[in-house]
Amino acid sequence: MVTGDSEPSPVTTARVWVADGRAAGVRRRGTVVGRTTVDGEEGDLVEIGLLYPESAADWIAAQGPDVVVFEPDVLAKSVQDRLEAVVARQGGVS
């Protein structure tokens, strides 16, 4: 029997791009595995183990354009849906 405060294993691993100097909370929860450029902006490729991928979509979407989900596709779609909903509530982009 194993006892103690062991944390549950992640359900999935997300791969996200994080803009340089941004989204410190995302960086703290993940591991930098590389560098890449998104829309001409340099950033880190970060892997994050997720216990609750659906709730992670809210947290990641709150980072706005500073974080882009590469994998898994379902998380990327969930984040995109949330960001589009914010734009729709604001009356579109001007």
Instruction: Break the chain into its structural domains and give their ranges.
Output: 12-89
> Can you give the pTM of this predicted structure?
0.83
Query: CATH number of the domain at 12-89, out of 1.20.120, 1.25.10, 3.30.70, 3.30.300?
Result: 3.30.70
**For residues 59-84, average pLDDT:** 96
Q: Give the C-alpha separation, 81 to 88, whole Å.
A: 10
Q: Can you give the pLDDT at residue 2?
A: 56
pLDDT value, residue 6: 74
Which residues have CB under 8 Å from 53's CB, separation 6+?
11, 12, 14, 72, 74, 75, 78
| Confidence label for 5 from pLDDT (cuts 50, 70 and 90) | low
Q: pLDDT at residue 45 above 90?
A: yes
Question: Taking 80 as the threshold, does the pLDDT of residue 74 lie above it?
Answer: yes
